[in-house]
Amino acid sequence: MGGRLARVARTWLVVLGVALGGAVLPAGPAAAHNSLTGSDPKDGARVATAPKRIELRFLATPAPGATKITVTGPDDATASGGEPTFSGKRVSVAFTPGPAGEYTVAYRVGSTDGHQVSGKITFTLTTGAATATPSADASPTIAPPTTGAAEPTTVPADATSAASLEPAASRSTDGGGAGLWWASGAVVVLGALGGGWLLLRRRSARRG
């Protein structure tokens, strides 16, 4: 009787050991390897408003030195800026939106056992980034001068003075010349009259 009970007890111990081993062993690799548990935006999401940052959430805390995240948009254009930031099991990277289309977020993180885990998510931006408008502080464009417009001419002060004085001097000279001619003519006329008067007087004296 005692031997039978001992065999039953050993059997139960073996079954219990196998059950416990099956429950513990699968948890070992799962705990050792990291994996993605969520993201913002979600994988496959369609968003109209571009997020400022893209966030990835992992099962275990990623090692900053072994983590790399890239974001590419349509035509494989780079759509991320700066280094990723870490907060516990969350990693985020700045997002630089471009045209509307599909964006791919590729990641590679380290695991506790040293293995690299990589993967990607995609989301669609339904509204492209707004085009930048010219700044109000931009330098104004200087228009070329209008063809045919007369440009004002600045006359030097000395030239103006000379020009204003020259006609007056000419007029003064011309007026003086005319006066001299009139005076000379008057002298000749008076001389002729005086001579004639003397001549007449002499003839009158001879006759008398």
Q: Which pLDDT does position 12 carry in this prediction?
A: 62
CA angle, residues 99, 100, 102, in degrees to nearest 5: 110
Is residue 15, in this structure, part of any structural domain at all?
Answer: no
- pTM, two decimals, is 0.50
Q: How many domains does the chain have?
A: 2
- Same-domain status, 39 and 111: yes
Average pLDDT over residues 126-151: 60
Domain membership flag for residue 198: yes
State how beta strands 36-40 and 116-125 pair. unpaired
Answer yes or no: is 38 within a domain.
Answer: yes
Compute the mean pLDDT over every residue in the chain, rounded to the nearest whole number.
74
Q: Are residues 115 and 186 both part of a single domain? A: no
pLDDT tens digits, one per residue of 109-125:
987 667 889 999 999 99
At which residue do the structure tokens 């985020």 appear?
92
Mean pLDDT of 35-49: 96
Q: Which domain-ending residue is among 67, 102, 125?
A: 125
Residue 206: strand, helix, or coil:
helix
Residue 199: pLDDT band with limits 50, 70, 90: confident
Residues 73, 162: Cα–Cα separation, whole Å: 78
Q: Is the dihedral of CA 111, 115, 116, 121 positive or negative?
A: negative
Residue with tokens 């005692």: 2
Residue 130 located in a structural domain:
no
Same domain, 116 and 179: no
What phi and psi, each to the nearest 5 degrees, are found at residue 91? -130, 135
Is residue 166 included in any domain, yes or no?
no
- CATH code, domain carrying 82: 2.60.40.1220
Q: Look at residue 183 and give its three-state secondary structure.
A: helix
Give per-residue pLDDT as tens, 47-58. Answer: 999 999 999 999
Question: Which residue has tokens 């979600």?
Answer: 42
Residue 185: what pLDDT? 67
Tell me the average pLDDT across 28-55: 86
> In Å, how far are 4, 36, 73, 144 from 10, measured between CA atoms?
10, 43, 63, 105
CA 193 to chain centre: 102
What's the domain range around 84?
A: 33-125
In this prediction, residues 187-198 reach a mean pLDDT of 73
Residue 72 domain flag? yes
Measured CA to CA, the distance from residue 184 to residue 192 in angstroms comes to: 12
Instruction: Confirm whether 131 is domain-assigned.
Output: no
> Integer distance in angstroms from the first to the last C-alpha of the chain?
219
